[in-house]
Amino acid sequence: MRRSASLRRAMTVTLGLAVLTGAAACAGPADNEQAGDGGGGGPREGGTLTVLNSSSQSDFDPARLYTSGGGNVPSLIFRTLTTRNRENGPEGAKVVPDLATDLGRPNADATEWTYTLKDGLKYEDGTPITTADIKYGIERSFAAELSGGAPYLRDWLVGGDKYQGPYKDKGGLDSIETPDEKTIVFKLRKPEGEFPFLATQTQFAPVPKTKDDGTEYENHPVSSGPYRVVSNRNDGEELVLERNEHWSAKTDAERKAYPDRIVVKSGLDSAVINQRLSTSSGADAAAVTTDTNLGPAELAQIGDDKSLSDRVGTGHFGYTNYLAFNPKVKPFDNVKVRQAISYAVNRKSVVNAASGSALAEPATTFLPEQKAFGYTPYDHFPAGESGNPAKAKELLKQAGYPKGLTVTLTHNTEENRETGPATATAVQEALKAAGITVKLQGLESNAYNEARWTASRTPGFFISRWGADWPSGGPFLAPIFDGRQIVTNGSNYNHAQFDDPAVNKEIDEINKLTDLDEAARRWGALDSRIGEQALDVPLFHPVYKRLYGKDVKNIVISDWTGVLDISQVAVK
């Protein structure tokens, strides 16, 4: 809910690779497996895979990570009750069983979920995995010493709002029951039909109580996945993983685990990563990145060089970049003003400022254009590609501003393609054509984030972004538009402080649904309904393009994470 893993993705690369020649190639999800095959037959076991990342793989503890944190690296070690379907594109946005035999069995109102573990599950030392270990793993995620993971369990579980973890509350969480070694039951404060999605979070990874050494556990967490940690140097700067001999593919339909060894090197410069991947010499021929994008200059240089363009993987993640309004600040309390700005926006110029059409897709809906989210096409304030200044001027006149008006747009001073100066300037120029003078207020990253997420200080007009922790409309719409989630003394994501009882009720009704397809349809309809309020102006959805080494095979990029899934990769 906090823009979690989404914010951890390195979205921008400003580098020049002398070794890259030629222009962008789009190896979309449908093409990725073929592109990654390398012409040498199907994937085989063996070899060493190297992962080159810019973001550090720190806090390698299941209590402190989000599921998609670290570009899928944690899922090599930590299995959970459910997991992502490891398939290309939209199929990868589905949730499937992992340690559990199914997606969970809810009671009549989805306030209780029961899971049964598969047979033959073992840790790296050969001892059996039990439901008591999953219960303990969840309980330790409540400890203050291990903060950083997703916040949902504290809100969803009965008693979760008061529980302080097993180091202080010795009795444990009564809302998690383990009647036997293979059965676990969760009791929730309210209906949650999307509990199977939550059960993919790393907090659901089993942790044997006898092996828990608190904050030191990250150095050698006990593996339930296909790999075990051999070494963890400098808090995730270099992770070395080798096969867990007690993992069985018979119990794990999702992770292929082809390489014998995986070395994760983090904290590298983005330019260095892309240069090493493009050159693909030595060990870098069998290397990938899960967090470093190609920028427009690099894509232009790659161009017609087929040997490089065939090694560009394309991914989409549930993410929307948008203009946000705070209607408590004048003149944005006037819906006609908000509508005028919605009509005036030039999405073509915004997309160009955000690195171009290869890396950004224009948006008119808040929900991303993916079926899993319930995407329902709408454009309540059609501006075309280049804006509709005439319609904007008409609305400004109706709002009482026949001669135009002056507003302030708050943005991040960091040079990035989402919330930075280039995007802000593109908005400024578009609104000028509609008679709206935009003064730009740039804030350093920390100050910018503090301003937009603090209810008492939220600017009237600012650039923002939001991504979901799993592919559904729930974690996308509820934090931004549920009036009961307005926070006055902490991080507040409902920037408009929007509190509509009918919308709140519909969110509750959708949360009761365990039919995820029906829930998606309802989320899409709600998105369109909220969109009529002009509380934000969707701008674009990002596209991820990343190089991989010449000896890497079996590329899978799903719509759940938008990044290469290293659990599927093989090397020559």
Sign of CA dihedral 133, 134, 137, 142: negative
Q: Is the pLDDT of residue 267 over 90?
A: yes
Q: Is the pLDDT of residue 16 over 80?
A: no
* Non-local CB neighbours of 437 within 8 Å, separated by 6+ positions: 404, 405, 406, 407, 431
Determine which of 154-158, 240-244, 301-305, 480-484 has the lowest per-residue pLDDT on average.
301-305
Give the pLDDT score at 149: 85
SS3 of 442, please?
Answer: strand
Tens of pLDDT, residues 361-403: 999 999 999 999 999 999 999 999 899 999 999 999 999 999 9
SS3 of 88, please?
Answer: coil
Average pLDDT, the chain: 90
Tens of pLDDT, residues 509-568: 999 999 999 999 999 999 999 999 999 999 999 999 999 999 999 999 999 999 999 999
Give the pLDDT score at 288: 97
Q: With contact defined as beta carbons under 8 Å apart, do 98 and 565 qualify?
A: no
Amino acid at 451: A
Give the pLDDT score at 39: 45
Give the pLDDT score at 40: 55
Q: Is the preceding peptide bond at 179 cis, omega within 30 degrees of 0?
A: no
Confidence class of residue 297 from pLDDT cuts 50, 70 and 90? confident
Give the pLDDT score at 32: 40
Domains assigned to the chain: 4-263+548-571 (3.40.190.10), 319-544 (3.10.105.10)
Tens of pLDDT, residues 426-452: 999 999 999 999 999 999 999 999 999
CA 404 to chain centre: 39
Q: Is the pLDDT of residue 490 over 90?
A: no
What token pair was written down for 204? 């659901």
Question: What global pTM score does this model have?
Answer: 0.89
Which range of 26-40, 137-151, 497-511 scores highest in mean pLDDT? It is 497-511
SS3 of 84, please?
Answer: strand
Closest CA to 553 of 41, 170, 22: 41
Average pLDDT over residues 340-344: 98
240 DSSP assignment: E
Q: Is the pLDDT of residue 28 over 80?
A: no
Q: Is the pLDDT of residue 151 over 90?
A: no
Between helix 335-344 and helix 421-432 the angle, nearest 10°, is: 100
